Amino acid sequence: MTAATGGGNRRRPMVSLLIITIMAISLVATTGYTAFTLVQSSDRIAQAQRSAGQMHKLAALVEANLRTLKNDGTLYAPAPKERPDGKTELPVWLMPGVQTPWGVPYGYCVFAPAPDQISPSIVTTPWPQDGAPGARNYVLSAPAAPAEIARAGIIAAIVAPAIGSDKMPDCAGLTMKDGQLTLPAGSALGVTRGSSADLAAVAASATVRRHVAPTQAGDGSGTTAADAMSLTAALGLWQATQPNGMALRLAPGRHEVPAALLDQLANGSGGGRTMRLVLQGEAAGVVIASLPTGAPFRLPTDIRVENVAFDTPVEAMPGTRLSFAGTNAISVANGPALKGYHARLDVTGSLTVTSNTGDGVQVTGGEALFRDADVVAQVGTGRAGLVSALGAAVTFSGERQRPRLRVRGRGGVPMAAIRSGGGQTILDSADVGAESDTQFGVVLENGALEMTATAVGLNGARPRSAGVLDLGGARVASDSASQITVAPGGKCAHGELFAQPATARRSAAEVAGGSAPLAVSLTNRSHWGCRQ
């Protein structure tokens, strides 16, 4: 009895140890599985959040690219890319390479743009419709959206497979539930006819770089030279995304942009942010033109131009900065070739401006800085190489070399190299020259002229020519290192301002007493050398 009881007591600790071991293993397994499940759930939640953010960006991008094709007020969506399985994706040009966090493309569903544009399948049409290179396809008609989706104003949708799946959802499965666009398996976000209010926030903060060619190459994404996009497509991408910076590397050749697109871009909004667009010619021979010709190239953003020739006017819009570097040219038939309106113009390097009937450069308000610049203006009869008005500030200055302005006639006799209609014109170590019997070097209608170590030269001999002409209300100051050279028969300076130079022997009392000739002469501080 006692022995049996002792053996049973020895077995009880072993059973207890076995039970404890089993419980410990179960606890570890449960904890491990719970941790694994939590990590997996957390990863799925993170993927869902990232995908939702991507879908909102894509929806805003599609909204920004809606176009009116028929002037009927109807907005048309970009045409989708068809897959081999019959499903549809976003077009590559809209945002190249975008995928879900689990590595599959987003789907793209489109519906009929209007009740009278319903068709059994998707019918597309190019935009712009004038045959310009780089045109993109838009949905002209498509199957009708379900009634509840149409009532919500949804004309397209971004769809994504279920997390971890590569099976693209079917557009026919889209429904509205509690005011939300839903799918049986996957997620969806509608694109409405309204423009995205969050487009500026959606835009990337980094500089976007694209390769541009006269004709589209490869997939047209612009990510490489082999897949270059057209300039029309690149400007459309800029308009849609409005990144903080975009650099377009232009291959040699003629890049034509529809005039309708240029007008649309000019009337668009800069989004209230500081942005910059760089047009960079990769080699000589890059030409930008409008189709048809004559539409000004202007954007509501800062622009830098490097080694590009324009066969259309170029304008800097109010509040923007337009910079030129390298070797550039602008040629037009009518009007000023380059115009700044309450903007800032910065010119370095070489710039040739040509106009058959207009001025070369026109600065209205704002400022223009020609630093180390070599400017050649070929202008029509009675025109000037550079014209300023409305208090504009114009400065020629040199840091590494003397800036130059040379004016030539374009089938006639130009009036002047510079015509100042107010504001301040500063010529610091500059060379201003005029050819083809140009009548005046600098014409002052108002404002101030300051010259330091500057040379103004007129080659033509005309009876009433002058290096500097005052038409009233001007102020002039120059140092003795400045030189005006005119041909025989001309004058170095002409006008009331130069009729009676001020002298040190005149007393302040004479001025205070109302000596008009002397009062006028006090605004003349010119000490330039005169050579005839």
Q: What is the mean pLDDT of residues 2-23?
A: 63
Q: What is the mean pLDDT of residues 37-43?
A: 61
> Is 85's pLDDT higher than 50?
yes
Q: What is the mean pLDDT of residues 148-160?
A: 86
Residue 208 is predicted with a pLDDT of 81
Q: Which residue has the higher pLDDT, 231 or 514?
A: 231
Instruction: Tell me the pLDDT tens digit for each residue of 352-408.
Output: 999 999 999 999 999 999 999 999 999 999 999 999 999 999 999 998 999 999 999
> Is 296's pLDDT higher than 80?
yes
> Is 518's pLDDT higher than 50?
no
Residue 506 is predicted with a pLDDT of 40
Concatenating the DSSP letter of every residue in 193-261 gives: SSPPTTHHHHS-SSEEEEEE-SS--TTS--SSGGGPBPHHHHHHHHHHH--SEEEEEEPSEEEEEEHHH
> Is 465's pLDDT higher than 70?
yes
> Is 35's pLDDT higher than 60?
no
Q: What is the mean pLDDT of residues 81-103?
A: 86
Residue 190 is predicted with a pLDDT of 87
> Is 43's pLDDT higher than 80?
no
pTM of the model: 0.66
Residue 507 is predicted with a pLDDT of 35
Tell the burial category of 193 from Cβ atoms under 10 Å away from its Cβ (0-12, 13-18, 19+): middle
Handedness of CA 231, 235, 237, 242 (dihedral sign): positive
Residue 13 is predicted with a pLDDT of 67
Residue 267 is predicted with a pLDDT of 80
The domain segmentation of the chain, as residue ranges, is 61-192, 207-297, 313-531
- Tell me what the pLDDT averaged over the chain comes to: 83
Q: What is the mean pLDDT of residues 118-134?
A: 80
Q: How many helices (H) and strands (E) does the chain have?
A: 7, 36
Residue 501 is predicted with a pLDDT of 52
- Using CA atoms, how far apart are residues 352 and 374, in angstroms rounded to an integer? 8
Q: What is the mean pLDDT of residues 150-158?
A: 85
Instruction: Tell me the pLDDT tens digit for each residue of 474-500.
Output: 899 999 999 998 887 788 898 888 875
Residue 21 is predicted with a pLDDT of 77
Which range, of 12-26, 212-226, 359-373, averages the lowest pLDDT? 12-26
Q: Which residue has the higher pLDDT, 505 or 337?
A: 337
Q: What is the mean pLDDT of residues 459-473?
A: 79
Q: Report the run of H or E that residue 519 belongs to, with start and end.
A: helix 516-521
> Is 56's pLDDT higher than 70?
yes
Amino acid symbol at 38: L
Q: Which residue has the higher pLDDT, 513 or 379?
A: 379
233: left (phi over 0), alpha (psi -120 to 50) or beta: alpha
Q: Report the run of H or E that residue 160 belongs to, with start and end.
A: strand 154-160
Residue 280 is predicted with a pLDDT of 96
Q: Which residue has the higher pLDDT, 26 or 211?
A: 211
Pairing assessment for the beta strands 302-306 and 367-379 based on DSSP bridges: unpaired
- Strand boundaries in 307-415, DSSP class E: 309-310, 314-316, 321-325, 327-332, 338-341, 344-355, 361-364, 367-379, 384-389, 393-397, 404-409
Residue 286 is predicted with a pLDDT of 96
- Using CA atoms, how far apart are residues 342 and 375, in angstroms rounded to an integer? 21
Of the pLDDT bands very low, low, confident and very high (cuts 50, 70, 90), residue 199 is very low
Highest mean pLDDT among 128-137, 291-300, 336-345: 336-345
Of the pLDDT bands very low, low, confident and very high (cuts 50, 70, 90), residue 236 is confident
For a pLDDT cut of 90, what percent of the chain falls above it? 41
216, 232 contact by CB (below 8 A)? no
Residue 33 is predicted with a pLDDT of 59
Bridge partners, residue 478, by sequence: 451
Q: Which residue has the higher pLDDT, 318 or 5?
A: 318
